[in-house]
Amino acid sequence: MSKEQEPQRAERVRLILGDQLNGAHSWFTERDPHTLHVLMEVRQETDYAWHHVQKVLSFFGAMRRFAEKLKDDGHRVFYLTLDDPRNTQSIPDNLQWILEQSGAKTFGYQLPDEYRLDQQLQDFAKRCRCAVEVADTEHFLTTRDELGALFKGKKQYLMERFYRVMRERTGLLMNGDQPIGGQWNFDKENRGRPPKTHVAPPPLLFAHDLRDMQRMVESRGVKTIGTVNAQHFPWPLDREESLELLAYFCEHLLPRFGTYQDALMPGQWALYHSRLSFAMNVKLISPQEVCEAAEAAWRADPERITLPQVEGFIRQIIGWREYMRGVYWAHMPEYATKNFFGHENPLPQWFWTGRTKMACLREAITGSLTNAYAHHIQRLMVTGNFALLAGVHPDEVDRWYLGIYIDALEWVEITNTRGMSQWADGGIVGTKPYVSSGAYLNKMGHHCGSCYYDVNDRTGPKACPFNALYWHFHARNRERLESPDARPGTMMRVGMVYRTWEKMAPAMRQALLEKGDALLRDIETL
């Protein structure tokens, strides 16, 4: 990208954000010589969270390739690099001088997916002297307000109901108006634990040389976390590579995805997961085409790829992904302040280093720092589970998740983290807090056998911390979980936990509470 490029004269300037790399957008149907498309790398976006270095490089790398593709297709493009001396590092301030130099009479932008950017561009549009055109991103299968309208007046949202609506609308895995296989959801068949010796196919990795970009990012003082081999950068950076990753998933990973999607395997950070979330979240590929490819693979070979495998995958995309976005737009900006349990504890420092004696947490955190990725059970039932049991403030948990993962954008991160993982929303997203003792982690994976702690011990000096913290969490939050402010049905879901608690000997209950107190007091040493 040349630093010498000047904004060309144009009648219309259109802004393309870093997560709006949709080459199929109607903006690009025709080559308009009077329209100038603008992309920019700005500190505003690198600095609002402490991002993983691979996340920064992947966004900039994909943006640059997208800009070049637009140019090759005959569109006019102005690309502002992070180190351009004219770069104010602010989207509105850069737009101001670009519009002035281009002489444009019209400013266009696509609806941002994040609330903060939506507000920023609305504010800019109000004071902009140009005519303003706002377009949809033409990526999602639902509108911003569709989920809110579906559950208007309801305290309780049901993802399953929404998922059925989406299946009927898209026609995916449908036989007329009925689901193929006679049921909508095969979740009960998506909880397999692989044998200890099981080895999944290796993840497909790319090998981009982004050393110059890494040096540029470092020279500008951008603070990042994690590690990267910038000479062999592994993530897809354009549509062709994203489609290659999709094809690899359908051929090699989909046959066992559903069965092992909740499994935890030491040394296998990707397992059978597609790793398509970054490509989808920046819109290089669409949710519809991803699901259609998976369904086509199943139809072509239903004996090798069974229905529970493909249904479990499609449910994550047209069900959960669209659902999370709907919750976000129905409840922002208030959602970002929710803290149902009133948690105030800081995030342990070892979340930033991985230096903990707990094997499952050590692997999930070090893997995240190394790969900018962890699959959903590592996020929900390992790191998220521990943070909730430890009473960490949701702001701190949000900050960590938003920064460390390559696919983390607020619209999908905060609803999964503050909602599903931390239950800070009081049950808008989940029917109960997703917490567990060590027994669940041992059931779903093989970390416990090599751990410093004993998963079968609850109160001893080497007892698995998840065990006492699980009971400590429920005991200290009983009043909140049984209150009318909790989601309808929550008490029914957690009632069995409290019945088990009441059946324990008083001495054991006291020992668990004292052990939990000690663990929270010495959390940095675990």
| Half-sphere exposure at residue 356, Cβ-oriented, CA atoms within 13 angstroms | 26
Residues 186 and 275 in one domain: yes
Residues 494 and 519 in one domain: yes
| SS3 label, residue 175 | strand
Q: What local confidence, expressed as pLDDT, does residue 494 receive? A: 81
Residue at a domain's end among 331, 360, 385 = 331
Would you say residue 222 lies in a domain? no
Q: Which two tokens stand for residue 74?
A: 């005959």
37-56 residue pLDDT tens: 999 999 999 999 999 999 99
pLDDT > 60? residue 1: no
Q: Which two tokens stand for residue 407?
A: 């696919």
Q: Which of 29-33, 199-203, 235-239: highest mean pLDDT?
A: 235-239
Angle at 101 (CA atoms; ends 98, 106), nearest 5 degrees: 65
343-373 residue pLDDT tens: 999 999 999 999 999 999 999 999 999 999 9
130-141 residue pLDDT tens: 999 999 999 999
Residues 62 and 180 in one domain: no
State the pLDDT confidence band at 486, using cuts at 50, 70 and 90: low
52-91 residue pLDDT tens: 999 999 999 999 999 999 999 999 999 999 999 999 999 9
pTM beyond 0.85: yes
pLDDT > 80? residue 385: yes
pLDDT > 70? residue 2: no
4 or 398, which is more confident: 398
Residue type, 257: F
State the pLDDT confidence band at 430, using cuts at 50, 70 and 90: confident
Torsion, CA 369, CA 374, CA 379, CA 382, rounded to 10: -80
d(CA 253, CA 160): 25
254-312 residue pLDDT tens: 999 989 999 998 999 999 999 999 999 999 999 999 999 999 999 999 999 999 999 99
177-193 residue pLDDT tens: 999 999 999 888 778 88
Cβ atoms 526, 358 nearer than 8 A: yes
Cβ atoms 286, 20 nearer than 8 A: no
Torsion, CA 487, CA 490, CA 491, CA 494, rounded to 10: -150
Residues 388 and 454 in one domain: yes
Residues 162 and 300 in one domain: yes
Residues 386 and 494 in one domain: yes
Element (H, E) at 323: helix 322-331
Would you say residue 232 lies in a domain? no
**What CATH number has the domain bearing residue 264?**
1.25.40.80
Residues 153 and 302 in one domain: yes
Residues 312 and 432 in one domain: no
- Domain, as residue range, for 87: 12-135
Would you say residue 291 lies in a domain? yes
Would you say residue 235 lies in a domain? no
Q: Is the peptide bond before 92 cis (omega within 30 degrees of 0)?
A: no
Q: What local confidence, expressed as pLDDT, does residue 457 receive? A: 96
List of E strands, 140-245: 174-175, 178-179
What contacts 4, CB < 8 A, 6 or more positions away? none
Residues 412 and 459 in one domain: yes
Residues 474 and 512 in one domain: yes
Would you say residue 6 lies in a domain? no
Residues 92 and 152 in one domain: no
Residues 167 and 274 in one domain: yes
Q: Which two tokens stand for residue 177?
A: 């108006």
Beta bridge pairs of residue 77: 37
Q: What is the mean pLDDT of the chain?
A: 94
Q: Which two tokens stand for residue 8?
A: 């060309």
**What CATH number has the domain bearing residue 383?**
1.10.579.10
Rounded to whole angstroms, what are the CA distances from 428 to 417, 485, 496? 12, 11, 21
Number of domains in the chain: 3
